Amino acid sequence: MRFSSRLISFLLAFSVALITTAFISLIKEANFPILFIAFGISLSSAFILSYFTLEFLVLGEINEAYNMLAKMKKKDFKLHKKKVSNITPIQKLNEQLHHYAQNKQEEIDKLEELGTYRREFLADVSHELKTPIFAAQGFIHTLLDGAVDDIEVRHKFLQKAANSLDGLNGLVEDLFTLSQLETHIIVMKKQKVNIINLIDRAFEQVEEKAREKKIYCIFEPENEDIFVEVDTEKMLRVFINLITNAIKYGKENGKVEVIITQQNKKIKISIKDDGQGIPPEHIERIFERFYRVEKSRTKQKGGSGLGLAIVKHIIEAHQTHIFVKSKINEGTLFWFELDEI
């Protein structure tokens, strides 16, 4: 049962008046008329004083604070829309303060998360840029220190320096592409294309890497022609990145398979390997820039660490999503869907 603020004020004032009168009657020695007059004066004065004190000072201050918070709610509060006619000002104030504190805590948590992500990103990009630069620098300084006179050594070191600088150039290009994708600077130039031919082109570009690791690539579509509307070059990069990733982390003498299934004008494209798999705690972060499940092993395998991040942004720019499922020592499966036309 709820009481209005004025009813509460009245009851409190009346109680104070009775207590005051009883106290006076005990300490005042007087006959009945004088006691009656004293009772009336005490009752009236105590009642008026208590009532107006509660009504205008205490509840007035609370109402003023509530009105001030109400003016701020458009900016600082996300309140549920509900009737508050039966809620006392104190309850209103508590509710407002609770939502305010909750929103501010969420903002603080988000800022801390972004701060951690920014520090990790700066550390990662600095390391990624530093590695090829220092490698090329070492080879060139070795040549300048006298090794340049040896033709065989000169050619070998220049080739290594060139490879390091090529890796640096690829990293910078990937960073630039990812930045453009994240800020939506790159516009998808969609056109009708046979997805089967696109996947064949991707396999052609990675076949040397598969041969080096003795990995058998499988792609056996049921239909020769399946048309979709995509940005051809961007989607080709998606397939190259995903198949390269599957080869890189697949087991030697293993297999990488691309599977296409069709249902209700939707085509599901899956890229599957039988490699080492991804631990469950890393699944949600593998699409982050430079995120590495095992830093030391990934370094040996090469790559910019941006491949999956680029894949995610290209896929989402085509109004769809990429998913991943993995089991340790059994392999990893990536898949996404496109509309068939």
pLDDT single digits (tens) 228-273: 999 999 999 999 999 999 999 888 889 999 999 998 889 999 999 9
- Mean pLDDT computed over 305-311: 87
Q: What is the pLDDT of residue 157?
A: 87
Looking at residue 89, what is its pLDDT? 72
Residue-wise pLDDT for 109-125, tens only, equals: 777 776 766 676 666 67
Q: What is the structure's pLDDT at 233?
A: 92
Per-residue pLDDT tens digits for 36-68: 565 566 556 555 655 555 555 555 555 665 566
* pLDDT tens by residue, 271-288: 999 998 999 888 888 888
**In this structure, are residues 320 and 337 in contact, taking their beta carbons and an 8 Å threshold?**
yes
Q: In what order do the strands lie in the sheet with 331-339?
A: 216-219, 255-263, 266-273, 331-339, 322-327
Sign of CA pseudo-dihedral 219, 200, 338, 194: negative
CA neighbor of 293 nearest in space, from 255, 324, 270: 324
For the chain, give the longest Cα–Cα distance: 129
Beta partners for residue 219, in sequence order:
258
**What pLDDT, on the 0 to 100 scale, is given for residue 82?**
47
Q: Are 221 and 212 in contact (CB under 8 A)?
A: no
Enclosing H/E stretch for 320: none
What is the 3-class SS of 94-151, one letter each residue?
Answer: HHHHHHHHHHHHHHHHHHHHHHHHHHHHHHHHHHHHHHHHHHHHHHHHHHHCCHHHCH
Highest mean pLDDT among 13-17, 52-56, 152-156, 325-329: 325-329
Q: Report d(CA 235, CA 201) in Å as an integer.
A: 11
The more confident residue out of 192 and 307 is 192
Q: Is residue 298 predicted with pLDDT exceeding 50?
A: no
Tokens representing 157 are 């070191």
Digit-coded pLDDT (tens) for 179-223: 888 777 778 889 999 999 999 999 999 999 899 889 999 999 988
Cβ within 8 Å of residue 65, ≥6 positions away = 93
Tokens of 274: 């039988």
Report pLDDT for 56.
Answer: 52
3-class secondary-structure state, position 226: coil
pLDDT attached to residue 338? 95
Q: Phi and psi of 99, rounded to 5°? A: -65, -40
Predicted pLDDT of residue 50: 57
Q: At 326, is the secondary structure helix, strand, or coil?
A: strand
Placement of tokens 């990662």 in the chain: 124
Q: How many CA atoms lie within 13 A of 252 on its CB side?
A: 2
Q: CA gyration radius for the chain?
A: 37
CA–CA distance, 98 with 107 (Å, rounded to integer): 14
Q: CA 317 to CA 311: how far, in whole Å?
A: 10
pLDDT at res. 3: 47
Specify burial of residue 209 (Cβ count, 10 A radius: 0-12, 13-18, 19+). Answer: middle
By CB atoms closer than 10 A (0-12, 13-18, 19+), residue 327 is exposed
Spatial CB neighbours of 285, under 8 Å, sequence gap ≥ 6:
291
CA dihedral 183, 186, 191, 193 (to 10 degrees): -90
Q: What's the rounded Cα separation, in Å, for the pair 199 and 193?
A: 11
Does residue 226 have a pLDDT over 90?
yes
Give the separation between CA 95 and CA 299, rounded to whole angstroms: 52
Q: What is the pLDDT of residue 191?
A: 94
pTM for this structure? 0.59
Identify the CA nearest to 248 among candidates 173, 332, 164. 332
